[in-house]
Amino acid sequence: MTAKRPSLAGVRYRQRKRNIVVDFDPDKFKESLITIIEENLDADSFFNQVDEKKLDLKRYGDHFFDVLFSGGTGACVGKHDGTAHPIATSFFGIEKENPEDKRARQEKICDLLREFLHRKPFLETRLDQVITMLVNSYLLLEKDFQKATTSLVAQLMAKKIYKAEQITTLLKNDSNVNSGQVLNIFTIITKKMVSEGGIKMKAVVKMFTDAGLLGKLIQFFPPSKRSSEFIEEHFKSNGLLKLYQQSKEKQDKQKITNLQETISRMIKQNFTVDDIVAEIETAQEGEGEAGIGMKDYADDELKQKKSPLSSSSSQSSSYSGVSSEQGTKNSFDLFTVVSTVWDGMMDAVDWSNRGQQMTDQAVAQVEQWGPLLVAFADGKGKEQIQLLNKLQQWCYDDINYQKTFLPLVYALYRTEVLEEDVIVEWYNHQAVSKGKEMFKKQVEPLIRWLELAPEENDEEEDQRRLDLEHQRQLDDDDDDEEDDEYDDEDEEEDIGNKEKE
């Protein structure tokens, strides 16, 4: 007998709901939003109205900004035909309006937008897209819309609603860059950040610095107008000279850093002094591309050069130095070059962690690569004084080098980088404040020898006497430290005896 088959009678099945397709109707969305905006509500009331009407901001985000900014004319979504006019309560507003009322309305819309983005952060990406659309279609807009667009971008950037680095999207259109239109838009926006955005030029410079724009300013200029003279004149004539100065300072620092790395790399690979001097001159003459550093260029150059020479005798150079006339043409003054050469020389050393060995390494580096310094400081008392002050600062900044000052000064003297009169002048009048007395005390034996010794001396004997004198100073310092330790021990012993009594 077969079992009774189960019955499904009385069981109710749930039917899965199908995805309901809602027609894309931006016009209806804009009409609903316009009625809310025209009521000129405060922020909380505005948000409540948007929620009550269940406006789909994720789907119509572009049209939300189009109503808020251009009053529903389609300018923010690329559909403006020139016939539609913005509503009076939008950012663009009406043509003839009291400037104070216009400014107050725009301030209110910016504040409303800031709060709205805080509550609906998913709209930030849409905002970036809308601003990019507006800026890239700038030439297609009417004159009044162009003014309103630059005012909108300037105020949003000033209030940090729109990120400053996003302005680089202008650079994607090569034809507008070449025609100078990108430079014009960027200049107008920057000026309006001060005049309409309510911030000072100092804040604009800081904002551009944080956004990494200072090093990219040259890219906003047409390729044919990227000389430093034209760039400076453009910013000066538009009241933005401080922005240019900060940009140039940052670029110069980057160039110096790249040059220092190049010098260090070439020294490690034992290039000749002539090769390194030629590289430095090339770096100085690269002033035309004010925003482009040397790092990539230097790497390519090093790859193309001949194999380095290993003989230490090959480091001697017949280079006669840089004339003062040439120094004024270049982008860096001679002291900056000398200071950079010094830092590059010392960066190339694989330093030991023991004091005396570090001193020997520093002296050996000066003796081998002193001709590099001679090339830029030979016969120039001012640069030599500045080099001594650079050395003083370098030794002071690191306690490991504080006792190497005298050996390095004497090494610079022996390699004819420093002249006798310059060393005496530095000792008497030109030493800087940091570690002044400590370093002057170190140099006293050399100063006495320079002032009293005859012109012709036995070099080995002179070195031996200076080494003995320097060692005596070091021994005296050690004795003083030991005496201080003994004094401390005696004081502690006296205190202990008194406590026992």
**278: in domain:** no
**Residue 443: which of 391, 413, 407, 416 has the closest Cα?**
407
- pLDDT score recorded for residue 268: 92
Name the burial class of residue 20, with classes exposed (0-12), middle (13-18) and buried (19+) by CB atoms within 10 angstroms of its CB.
exposed
**387: in domain:** yes
Reduced to 3 states (helix: H, G, I; strand: E, B; else coil), residue 485 is helix
- pLDDT score recorded for residue 453: 59
Q: Choose the final residue of a domain: 181, 210, 241.
A: 241
**305: in domain:** no
Element (H, E) at 423: helix 420-425
* Residue 400 domain boundaries: 358-363+376-474
**136: in domain:** yes
- pLDDT score recorded for residue 193: 92
Q: How many CA atoms lie within 13 A of 274 on its CB side?
A: 11
What single-letter DSSP state applies at residue 249? Answer: H
**212: in domain:** yes
Q: Are the C-beta atoms of residues 427 and 440 closer than 8 Å to each other?
A: yes
Distance CA 69, CA 62 (A): 11
- pLDDT score recorded for residue 157: 92
- pLDDT score recorded for residue 317: 39
**349: in domain:** no
Domain CATH number, residue 211: 1.25.40
Identity at 483, one-letter amino acid code: D
Q: Are the C-beta atoms of residues 415 and 371 closer than 8 Å to each other?
A: yes
Q: Choose the final residue of a domain: 192, 209, 241.
A: 241
Residues in CB range of 343: below 8 A, 6 or more apart: 260
**57: in domain:** yes
Tokens coding 339? 């200071």
Distance CA 402, CA 359 (A): 10
Tokens coding 148? 């309103």
- The domain total for the chain is 2
Rounded to two decimals, what is the model's pTM?
0.64
Helix, strand, coil distribution of the chain in percent, nearest 5: 70, 0, 30
Which segments of the chain have a pLDDT < 50? Answer: 287-330, 456-457, 479-487, 501
Alpha-carbon Rg for the chain in angstroms: 36
**406: in domain:** yes
- pLDDT score recorded for residue 300: 40
Q: Choose the final residue of a domain: 218, 241, 264.
A: 241
Distance CA 331, CA 287 (A): 6
Distance CA 46, CA 52 (A): 10
